[in-house]
Amino acid sequence: MPSFVDVDGNGSLDLIITGASVSGMEIRALLNGAAKGAAAQYSLTGATLWPIPDRLTLGDLMTVADVDRDGKLDVLIGKEYGTIEYFRNTGSSTTPVFQLQNQTFGGFTIDDPTYARARSIVVTDLNGDQQNELILAADNGTVRVYQFPNPVDKALTLLDSLPSIGFPGTGLIAAAADLDGDELPDLMLGSIAGGMRYLKNTSQRVVTGIPEEPTGPWAFPNPTDRYLTIRPPYDGQIDVVSLSGQVVMSSQAVLANVETVVDLQRITNGMYLIRLSGSNRSPQVQKVLLLK
């Protein structure tokens, strides 16, 4: 099952694939080699294996999302008997470590036989208020929208059961994306019979007044032959990461709007991700080409 999420924080969607192999369940991450807004570039040769969360089995439905809003992707698993399990990422963005936090996320316990299978889970901000909603599509054909729990161990609050869509089929799989360019995610529903429904999002878009993070370059020059100047928009630390997700230089402290020079002499030529992270701030990533 594919998931499109921004793993490395550079604004472009990466691809997470979950499936079964001869050796069991596998999760592979393919980083998008294209810039934000450009056509996606995925390479199987650059795919990295992610660790399998304990208890993930064939028949479960997994999704990745930043559940605890720490800038790293966590895992929610819709279990075949109806519960949802939450695994927190205690590693890094590109080298995750998943630890079980809650076996009944949202307050769901083992279902009655009318559900019988796992819920398909979508985490998305439906109206632009920078607060996620949780969409659950069930095997029995029901689709429900919940307020995302805050704190994360809180029971879910039902917002809408979407009665107007009628019966979309059984064995539902849900996905969300902005399909019409209005900056609101729409919903796609696939059923076991092979049908697909497109549900346009008609929510009123909320303007929060929260300023956008700066999008201008804060790591320069690019390309560089050795030295890289960092002038970040906030206090934090930077890591230099290869396109395969390996940290090649780590944990150098930087201050907001103060220039820090980084020496790249020890690493080989190539394209690298400069990852900026800070307390209670969304991580930012810039691509830099090193040519000595």
Convert the pLDDT of each residue in 32-73 to its tens digit. Answer: 887 776 778 898 888 899 999 988 888 889 999 999 888 889
Mean pLDDT of 266-278: 89
pLDDT at 111 over 70: no
Task: Using a pLDDT cut of 90, give the percent of the chain over it.
Answer: 39
Model confidence over 235-256: pLDDT tens digits? 999 999 887 778 898 789 999 8
Please tell me the number of Cα atoms within 13 Å of 105 on its side-chain side.
27
Please state the pTM of the whole predicted model.
Answer: 0.70
Mean pLDDT of 251-268: 91
pLDDT at 229: 92
Dist CA 258 CA 102 (whole Å) = 41
Model confidence over 161-216: pLDDT tens digits? 999 999 999 889 999 988 887 888 999 999 988 888 999 999 888 765 544 555 56
> Would you call 163 helix, strand, or coil by DSSP?
helix
Distances in Å between the Cα of 52 and the Cα atoms of 25, 123, 241 are 7, 20, 22
User: How buried is 212 (Cβ within 10 angstroms: 0-12 exposed, 13-18 middle, 19+ buried)?
Assistant: exposed
pLDDT at 136 over 80: yes
pLDDT at 205: 81
Mean pLDDT of 122-141: 90
Mean pLDDT of 270-292: 85
